[in-house]
Structure 1
């Protein structure tokens, strides 16, 4: 099982996946340029560790060890000094990178410490920047940087990466090739999900793998990125960024579906079938409930090809 994404969306899918499959590999975007991750990236020239940290925390178990270490690595310092805003896990990850001079080995060591139910890998071996073509009041412009793209007041039309052909993490490529299932989403569509399709070696592996592909749609539009997007619009944008990619299943909560017929047509155009299931948290917030999502994914994965 390989799950792609970053941030809170990937955290949700990993929290569910670790409950239903024996081996999970998270392939995580490395474009963050804000907050603690951005500061460490600029100061030390490392991959931004924040999304990688969140993925590791999501893979922690529900026992006392897992809950404690998940809270520790997610803890942020509050002070008037230089440590303000830094997450403990970010510092731990970067320390291991400096000691081992190997990003993958460093993440594996943190995973062992946390007792993570799976492995976390960066999608690329170097930090990347996202460039978005944005339309505002009929004028097109280019916005650079994940934070700027996510917060743009305009409508994002498309994205590209800088560098345009970053080297993929070899272990991530191997994991995709060997997978039974690949999961894309949920997550910020333009800044967490689609960037994986822009890394040439990773994109090739996604197209060639014998794994079945599942796309999990978001529960609400992402402010500044997908305002006004219908569920089918997300799939249209996915197709535009990866024209040859087919999917087997698209999972959506009924609450996000406007015109079911239009969504079914969009899913069928990608070669897949639509699964509608209540996976949202019961409190009404736009977040996935890990146990509900796990139950639905378990049913899907058990179905015969």
Structure 2
């Protein structure tokens, strides 16, 4: 995992970051849930050629119910990614709100998101996951496309040290792992070595930039590295690679992990992975030197930017994050005031 060394032999040095081109950069963002939604809402301001590759291991809520009943991919994270890419028009916002609307009450539809039901209906009619997602994208006027990372639903297992006793236990399912207060050690997918979606692999290979994170680190980010074909593509692609760190590294499944430790977990699942940039908010970093050193071990530069909402909440501000990505993609990686 050691990065390239400088001519002086003093340690890792990043590869040159490419300057922006008049032709839209091809950007692929990987993740799931709210984290991927945050990166997509930012990236849509930076490029007109955007692809989201989404995890398919969700087993909770509406997605879990539909997955169990119909044997389909869990639609929730895919729906959220599509909603994040909606066109900035009344029509686009209307369909975004329709997709995100959840039924209330206590009947059989209670808790279901309309978008989840629509996506599953289209999958049944068209018998092709990508085609169904493309139709929803057309309704939204989506500024990009959304692809599942695999064409079969997957299950996450994790080895976790119990928060109260410290004893090891195995948690099964994304819902359980994401909510644990114990320390997550190793995660894996069931079935092991699942096939990747060929379209997702090709998108990664064709990209100019690949963005990993933010998001639930073990259940939304690392999962992409557990799909062998996708992991190989992430390591072999000629694209530049950027990791976006979370604003709160101490919540639920990442409790007890410092930002540099979370970064290092990527190397555990993909030892040959190299990076070009790591984006972090100063408010979420206690030891800048340690994080910078961890980034350098991947061959990356640490890019510190204020990307959180101004109210101090652990939520990425779309325009601030977009500005950070624009800097990274154009090679502006030094400190920026404000």
Q: Give the shorter-chain TM-score range.
A: over 0.9
Q: What's 1:184 paired with?
A: 212
The 10-residue stretch of structure 1 (204-213 or 135-144) with the greater mean CA deviation from structure 2: 135-144
How much has 1:304 moved relative to structure 2? 8.7
Give the match's secondary structure for 1:76.
Answer: coil
Trace 1:1-305 onto structure 2 (pairs within 5 A): 1-136=27-162, 137-221=165-249, 223-303=251-331
Higher relative contact order (CA 8 A, sep 6+): 2
CA RMSD of aligned residues (A): 1.2
CA-CA distance at 1:33 after TM superposition: 0.4
Cα distance change of structure 1 residues 222 and 124 upon mapping to structure 2, 3 Å threshold: farther
Distance 1:14 1:250 in 2: 17
CA distance in 1, matches of 2:124, 2:267: 39
Q: Give the C-alpha shift of residue 302 in structure 1.
A: 1.9
Compute the displacement of 1:228 (Å): 2.1
**Unpaired segments ≥5 residues, structure 1:** none
Cα distance, 1:231 vs structure 2: 1.1
Q: Is the 8 A contact 1:34 1:147 kept in 2?
A: yes
Q: Deviations over 1:239-270 (max 9, x none)?
A: 11211101000000000111111111100001
Asked if the contact 1:150–1:223 (Cα under 8 Å) also holds between the matched residues in 2, the reply is no
TM-score by length of 2: 0.88
Higher mean displacement: 79-88 or 61-70: 61-70
Secondary structure of the 2:254 match is coil
Aligned positions, number: 305
SS at match of 1:24: strand
- Report deviation, 1:222: 5.4
* Greater C-alpha Rg: 2
How many Å apart are 1:221 and its aligned residue? Answer: 2.4
CA deviations 1:148-202 (Å, max 9, x no partner) are 1111231101100000111111100010000000000000000000000000111
SS in 1 for 2:112: coil
TM-score by length of 1: 0.98
2:148–2:200 contact (8 Å) kept in structure 1:
yes
Cα offset, 1:107, TM superposition: 0.5
